[in-house]
Structure formats: C-alpha cells, structure tokens
Amino acid sequence: MNSPAPNDQPKSEDTSLTRKGVAVQVRGLRKSFNGHEVLKGLDFEVKPGEVFVIMGPSGSGKTVLLKHLIGLEEPDEGEILIGGESIQSPEVMSKYRMAMVFQSGALLNSLTVGENVGLYLSEHRLKTPEEIERIVAEKLEVVGLKDTVNQMPSELSGGMKKRVAIARALVIEPQLIMYDEPTSELDPLSAVVIGDEIVHLKKRIGVTSLVVSHDRDLAFGVADRIAVIHEGKILAIGTPDEVIKREEPMVQKFLNADLRHLEEGNKRGGRR
C-alpha cells in the first residue's frame, strides 16, 4: 500500500458550517439466522454530533448490526430510532440524511474522482452540471483532496480512496455517517489520516459518526464513546478511559492491555 501523497492531508479547521448531527437509539435488538442468535438484545444510544465506535473481534455481530442500521436487515425483536423515530417507517428513512462509507470505498474505477463524488447528484438529476461541479469541489476540499478531481481511482493511494468515499458521502449533507472498517487494508500512516478526518468532520460540521471497527488505535484515537461487542452482546460501553478500565475478561483480552494508542488519540484530540 502506498503512503499518502503530500496533498493527502486533512484541511484546516473551518467552524463556519452549522452543526447538524442526529441521535441514534438501538433498543433490545435481536436477530437470529437459522436458529443461531447473532444479536442478543443490544441497547445503546449515539448522541447528536458524537463519534461512537462499535468494536469487537470478527464474528462478534458488528456487520449484522451495521446492516440493521442501514436498513438491509430487519430485527426479530427491538427497534432502531433515528431522531427519535423508528427506521422501520419508510418516511423516517427518507426524512433523515444518512450516508455510508463502505470498507472498500466502493469507487467506480471507470469514473474520475469528481464523477464518483457527484454520482448521486448526477444520476438523480438533482442539480445542474455547474452546481454539481461546485459541490464536488467543495466536498473534496473538505477532505483535503481538491486537486484530485480529474484523477482516476487507480491513481490514488488507499487512504485517498477512502477519503474520496467520505467526500461522496458528504454530498448529501448527511446528519449521520456510518463507517464500515474505515482503516481496513490501509498502511499505518493512511489509517492515522482517516482517523484525523473523522475527528475533523465532527469538529467542522458536527455530523454524527458511527464507526464499526476492530482497529483499537482508531477507536481510542477518535471516539467520544466506545461499545465493545462480543458474541452479539455489549460487554462494555463508555468513554475510552471508562472502557479501558473495565475488568471484564473478554474486554481486556480484546484490548490486550496495550495503552500506547491512548496517548496518540489524545494528541489527535479525538475525545471531548
């Protein structure tokens, strides 16, 4: 994996944009497949404008939970609320602006960076070509990649591709961004840049961020609060300091008692 190019750095702070995060509530969520219970009564709340990280080992239920949050799965029991309203109502899913940053980035290799970022607007004919060009430039500037608009995805590093995917998510002016393993397959430097970008967006536009990851360094570097999930249950939930102090054996085993990432997270300013 290539290291980020010189322009692969977050843009400086801009506090002129309004805060607009939305709350997320998960209540008693249960889901089984072929008689095997994958989610076992999950309960948690994500506050507006918060960076909330769900972490746990492979097979813990993170992916199934994420599919419920984006509406790809329906629970056997329980509910998910966005802004206090159940997402099982089609009207609610269309009322709130939610975006997803996929693990792979999911860029179309046949399109330029600018075309990828503006794809939703152009496909749905929501804006004129001139307006789309302006919006694309604005969102790429937010993630510090304004000079890549005419490049192809194949010309970008892994970290840059992920940040183009973030720019694409920003096009709809989201109130909630969900990230699926955003540092997966990235080199350490690119992973740090992605973490910085998540924190940057929280500070700049106040968007609610829900991050699903098994990356401890990312979690403790960016999170306001963390939920540790294992075998479909939440074992710990709280601030990074609160989670690291939990004596639950599986929590400590997963975290591996390595606290060096906490110091790096404090330097990044990931916590309130």
| 8 A C-beta contact, residue 165 and residue 149 | no
Does residue 268 register a pLDDT over 60?
Answer: no
Q: Token pair of 76, please? A: 């056997």
Q: For residue range 190-213, list pLDDT tens digits in order.
A: 899 899 989 988 888 889 999 999
pLDDT of residue 39: 96
Whether the pTM exceeds 0.85: the reply is: no
Residues in CB range of 144: below 8 A, 6 or more apart: 7, 8, 9, 10, 11, 163, 197
Residues in CB range of 266: below 8 A, 6 or more apart: none
pLDDT of residue 58: 80
pLDDT of residue 211: 96
Q: For residue range 219-243, list pLDDT tens digits in order.
A: 999 999 999 999 999 999 999 999 9
pLDDT of residue 272: 38
Q: What is the mean pLDDT of the chain?
A: 84
pLDDT tier, 260 (very low <50, low <70, confident <90, very high otherwise): very low
pLDDT of residue 186: 85
pLDDT tier, 165 (very low <50, low <70, confident <90, very high otherwise): very high
pLDDT tier, 88 (very low <50, low <70, confident <90, very high otherwise): confident
Q: For residue range 27-67, list pLDDT tens digits in order.
A: 999 999 999 999 999 999 999 999 999 998 888 889 899 99
Instruction: State how far the Cα of 164 lies from the Cα of 171, in Å rounded to an integer.
Output: 11
- Domain extents in the chain: 24-97+174-268, 107-173
- Among the residues of the chain, which ranges form H helices? 62-69, 90-95, 113-117, 119-123, 129-142, 158-170, 188-205, 216-222, 240-244, 249-255, 260-268
CATH number belonging to the domain at 24-97+174-268, selected among 3.90.550.10, 3.90.700.10, 3.40.50.300, 3.30.70.20: 3.40.50.300
Q: Which comes out higher in pLDDT, residue 90 or 158?
A: 158
Least confident of 11-25, 63-77, 81-95, 133-147: 11-25
Does residue 139 register a pLDDT over 60?
Answer: yes
pLDDT of residue 252: 83
Mean pLDDT over 124-150 rounds to: 90
pLDDT tier, 214 (very low <50, low <70, confident <90, very high otherwise): confident
CB atoms near residue 33 (< 10 Å): 11
